[in-house]
Each structure stands twice: as structure tokens, then as C-alpha cells.
């Protein structure tokens, strides 16, 4: 931890654990460091970064005109998988927010990273610690596999418990808007915020977040459907990996990756990215097929990732 803090103080990048996915972190108040993050990820400069803070009080140092419903959401769900897009104060460099006048703020729920954030006196800009467009990392090893030459260290906090990125929420004209479905469910957000507008449509011009059509994508082709059996049949001449959910029977000749045999959405979310990575590394698989999950709970966020990862 001390080493991580000192690297960060010295303008280096450190990969940090969070409950959702690993982040590629650097001093959010230092524009030169933030540029290094974009370079290491090969991320286009129009895609803004999330700023990680250790408390609600610290969040309010960087945001202004915070609507009451945002304060209620912080109170209810921080620390946790919720990013709030708020009007930014000028202390946040424009490069962090890709020139937007808002900043995405999140208090992550991981003891190591919270302790780290409390040790240093600046917030951490951290996108997911993967090359742009590829599957997000949910273990320290995933980060090392792809970014080891570009970062000073990885703080190993174990496997991420949530496994999909934070839900991103903003506020426009008095409405609460969901920009990215994620680890905090819509059902939970509605309990605190009431009605919300879901605006997660794909776009090649993401003024809005994580909305790029193609993202989270493995190198092998991935096909998705509600009708898994037909999908398997169409692709039966390939060596298949089958991603499924719940108590289903799949022909043993295929490599079967069941996200959760007992239909547990949480378990499924925590398995999704590590399954995709594991399959992507196999030499004996040509094509991945996946069943879409029921549209409820974390099923929305998981399906969103599958849609973006799939062949268009």
C-alpha cells in the first residue's frame, strides 16, 4: 500500500482493485498523469474517466450544484457500484472529462482502495484496466496479462466480487438518467430516486458513457440469442464454447461455461468477464455462443455487456 501511494505521488500509474473491476489509476488532478492513462489503454480522448474518491464529503470538493437526489443516492449506495455524473468544479482537469462540464464520481467498495484513497491527498482517475475495447479485468492477473509493461504495479485485492462495472447515473432537466447499466440494479436505484430514464443506446459519439456499440469484446467471435439451442445448432460445425445460465442441459461435446447453475444473478455477474477471458485464451475453441439472461436485476447489465461484446 505504501509503495502504491508513493508510485502515485511520483506520477506513475497503479492498477487498483474495486468491487466491480480493476481500475488503471493515476492522480486525477494532474493532467500529465491522466494523459498517461489514456496512452496506456490506447483509449480515445473523447471517452471521459471516472474519478474515485474516499467519501461523500470529498466528492463535494469536486462537484457543484449537486441535486438532492444525487445526495440521497450517495447516502444509500456509497461505497458501491454507482458512479454519479455531476457538474464539475474547475479543479478537475478538462482532459479527465474529455472537455465535458460534468465529472463521473465514484466511491468504490474495496477496503484496500478506500485505505489508499485515504492515504493520498488527491482523487484517482481510473478507467477499467484493460486495453480499450477488450474485456474488463476482474483479477490482478488479468491486469498483469495485458498491461504489465505500462504500469508501475498492481495492487492485488483478490477477485472482484461484483464483476461488472458501476451503474452510471446523471441528472438532466430534473430527471435521473441511467447512462450505463451496471453493478447497482435499476430496481435498487428506483427505490431511492423514483422514476428514472434509461438512456444507454449505442453511439459512436459518446457524450454519454460506456455507450460505444462495440466494447468488452473477446477476440473470438461471440454470438448471442434468447434461443440457445438454435444458436448451437447453427454453429455446430465449429468448436464451441457455450455460455449459459441456470439449470440447462448442454451437449457435453461443447465447452460449457454456466454463469450460475442456480440462476443467481450476482454469481453470474462475477463470472462473466473471467469466463470470457478464459475462453478467449483457449486454442481448442473457435466460436463463443451465449444465452441472454432474463431481463431483471443484474440481468440487464450482463445482457448489455453481451450485446456490446457480440459480433454485429
The smaller minimum CB distance to ligand TXA, of residues 170 and 299, is found at 170
Q: If binding is defined by CB under 6 A, does position 21 make contact with ligand TXA?
A: yes
Nearest-approach distance from CB 136 to ligand TXA, in angstroms: 7
For residue 260, give the nearest of 271, 276, 249, 252 by alpha carbon.
271
Q: Which residues pair with 51 in a beta bridge?
A: 105, 125
C-alpha cell at 237: 460445425
Calpha distance 257→38 (Å, rounded): 33
Q: If binding is defined by CB under 5 A, does position 166 make contact with Mg ion?
A: no
Nearest-approach distance from CB 136 to Mg ion, in angstroms: 5
> How many amino acids of this chain bind ligand TXA (CB under 6 A)?
29
Q: If binding is defined by CB under 6 A, does position 206 make contact with ligand TXA?
A: yes
Residue 26: contacted member of Mg ion, ligand TXA, none (CB under 5 to 8 Å, by partner type)? none
Calpha distance 288→239 (Å, rounded): 9
Q: If binding is defined by CB under 6 A, does position 151 make contact with ligand TXA?
A: no
- Angle (CA) 56-107-93 rounded to 5° is 85
The smaller minimum CB distance to ligand TXA, of residues 157 and 209, is found at 209
Calpha distance 74→69 (Å, rounded): 9
DSSP conformational letter for 48 = P
Q: Which of 49, 73, 178, 200 binds ligand TXA (CB under 6 A)?
A: 49
Region near ligand TXA per CB under 6 A, out of 45-53, 188-196, 254-262, 301-309: 45-53
CB 309 within 8 Å of CB 215: yes
CB 82 within 8 Å of CB 73: yes
What mask, x for binding ligand TXA by CB under 6 A, covers residues 174 to 203?
-----x------------------------
Amino acid at each position: 500500500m505504501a509503495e502504491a501511494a508513493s508510485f502515485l505521488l511520483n506520477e506513475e500509474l497503479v492498477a487498483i482493485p474495486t468491487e466491480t473491476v480493476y481500475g488503471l489509476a493515476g492522480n486525477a488532478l494532474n493532467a500529465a498523469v491522466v494523459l498517461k492513462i489514456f496512452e496506456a489503454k490506447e483509449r480515445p480522448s473523447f471517452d471521459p474517466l471516472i474519478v474515485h474518491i474516499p467519501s461523500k464529503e470529498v466528492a463535494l470538493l469536486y462537484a457543484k450544484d449537486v441535486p438532492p437526489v444525487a445526495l440521497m443516492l450517495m447516502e444509500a449506495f456509497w461505497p458501491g457500484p454507482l458512479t454519479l455524473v455531476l457538474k464539475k468544479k474547475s479543479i478537475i482537469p478538462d482532459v479527465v472529462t474529455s472537455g465535458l462540464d460534468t465529472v463521473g464520481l465514484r466511491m468504490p467498495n474495496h477496503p484496500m482502495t478506500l485505505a489508499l484513497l485515504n492515504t493520498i491527498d488527491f482523487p484517482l482517475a481510473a478507467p477499467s484496466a484493460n486495453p480499450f475495447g477488450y474485456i474488463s479485468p476482474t483479477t490482478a492477473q488479468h491486469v498483469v496479462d495485458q498491461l504489465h509493461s505500462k504500469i508501475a504495479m498492481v495492487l492485488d485485492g483478490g477477485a472482484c466480487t461484483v464483476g461488472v462495472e458501476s451503474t452510471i447515473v446523471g441528472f438532466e432537466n430534473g430527471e435521473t438518467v441511467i447512462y450505463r447499466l451496471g453493478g447497482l440494479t435499476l430496481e435498487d436505484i428506483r427505490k431511492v430516486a423514483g422514476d428514472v430514464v434509461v438512456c444507454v443506446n449505442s453511439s459512436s459519439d459518446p457524450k454519454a458513457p460506456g455507450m460505444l456499440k462495440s466494447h468488452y469484446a473477446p477476440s473470438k467471435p461471440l454470438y448471442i440469442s434468447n434461443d440457445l439451442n438454435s444458436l448451437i445448432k447453427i454453429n455446430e460445425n465449429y468448436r464451441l464454447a457455450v455460455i449459459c445460465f441456470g439449470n440447462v442441459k448442454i451437449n457435453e461435446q461443447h465447452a460449457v461455461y454456466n454463469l450460475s447453475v442456480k440462476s443467481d444473478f450476482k454469481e453470474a455477474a462475477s463470472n462473466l468477464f473471467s469466463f470470457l477471458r478464459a475462453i478467449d485464451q483457449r486454442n481448442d475453441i473457435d466460436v463463443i455462443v451465449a444465452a441472454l439472461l432474463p431481463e431483471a436485476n443484474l440481468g440487464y447489465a450482463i445482457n448489455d455487456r453481451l450485446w456490446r461484446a457480440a459480433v454485429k
